Amino acid sequence: MFGYVRICKPQMKICEYEVYQSVYCTLCRYLGRHLGLPARMLLNYDYTFLTMIMMALSGEQCELVKGRCVFNPTKRCGNCSTHKEAFEYTSALTAIMFYHKLRDNINDSSGVNRLMWQLLMPYAAHVRKKAAKLCPDEDALVNDYIRRQFEAEKKALESGNIIIDELCEPTADTISAIAVKLSRKPEERTVLKYFGYFLGRWIYMIDALDDLNEDLKDGSFNPLALKFGLTAQDVLDKSENYENARCCGNDSLNLSIAEAIKYYELLDFGEFKSILDNIIYLGVSEAQKSALFPKEKKNEKIRRDNDDIKTGVEEL
């Protein structure tokens, strides 16, 4: 999970943002309480999204109380006093993903980067051991995912035949299997299976698109770079081949999220629907724009921040 499934805050009501932030903060607390203080640093938006889906499909009412932030005790933040199962599940999944991803990073890295990942391994192994007791099936699932992804990438490199669909498959299957666990109702599980599959495809492709320039610089595996035979010079020249790779990535993203939305609309998310709609319809679109046009998005944020400052000065 890479943190791409997030909200579009400017288009969210204040009350909706407070609920979302409360879920985010509560998951942070669960990570710290069950896995130790450093585990709070593993939190990202993808796990918050999974937590909210599990909460929504449980049918249980969400109850919020005010609390204090561990990192900033002067700040009051929301705390969800219900849905214990959802928070325990996603916090365990966070630790499991972290451990197996770290192993993958060690295998793929060298030099200082490899040493840095190795230094984190004892802690990762410790939190994974705790989490695996709660979610043994997920531990085996993620371990198999890393193996399948490695084999798919190795096959692509050796054959020179880059088939994007095959490279997406391990991530798509894994997110699909995780999504199924978010509900106990058979009819919802069937829908979640396909929703998770296409969301997983989207996650794999947006990570490839977002990392395209960086991967070309350091020589890391990237399906788009290999399929279109790109080099670092293509990025500097903004070559036609480079633009074709970006268009291919964007087309794949649009197709994947469109299919995911078809299944998303078949589910009843109750009181969380408006927040989840914001993520699916607006947040993922913003993430795609950021991956395609990073400089433009940065400049847009700067302009928006400057406008906010200007408005504040004028009001004073």
The per-residue pLDDT for range 181-221, each reduced to its tens digit, is 999 999 999 999 999 999 999 999 999 999 999 888 888 88
pLDDT at residue number 295: 62
Q: Which residue has the tokens 């985010």?
A: 24
pLDDT reading at 309 higher than 50: no
Which pair of structure tokens corresponds to residue 14?
């204040």
pLDDT at residue number 1: 59
Q: Helix (H, G, I), strand (E, B), or coil: what is residue 167?
A: helix
The count of residues in the chain is 316
Closest CA to 90 of 187, 178, 176, 177: 178
Other CB atoms within a 10 A radius of the CB of residue 142 amount to 23
Mean pLDDT of the chain: 86
**Residue 73 in contact with residue 169, Cβ under 8 Å?**
no
- What is the rounded CA–CA span in Å between residue 24 and residue 45? 8
Give the whole-number percent of the chain exceeding pLDDT 90: 57
Other CB atoms within a 10 A radius of the CB of residue 233 amount to 10
Residues linked to residue 65 through DSSP beta bridges, in sequence order: 79
Closest CA to 25 of 86, 68, 65, 79: 79
**Residue 69 in contact with residue 75, Cβ under 8 Å?**
yes
Give the whole-number percent of the chain exceeding pLDDT 70: 91
- What is the rounded CA–CA span in Å between residue 224 and residue 209? 7
CA distances for 45 relative to 40, 52, 207, 283, angstroms: 13, 11, 14, 11
Q: Helix (H, G, I), strand (E, B), or coil: what is residue 76?
A: strand
pLDDT at residue number 312: 40
pLDDT at residue number 313: 35
pLDDT at residue number 264: 97
**Residue 40 in contact with residue 98, Cβ under 8 Å?**
no
Cα 268 off chain centre by: 22
- What is the rounded CA–CA span in Å between residue 200 and residue 118? 28
- What is the rounded CA–CA span in Å between residue 52 and residue 132? 22
Which pair of structure tokens corresponds to residue 26?
């509560």
**Residue 50 in contact with residue 182, Cβ under 8 Å?**
yes
pLDDT reading at 290 higher than 50: yes
Q: What is the mean pLDDT of residues 239-248?
A: 93
pLDDT at residue number 199: 96
Spatial CB neighbours of 296, under 8 Å, sequence gap ≥ 6: 289
pLDDT reading at 113 higher than 90: no
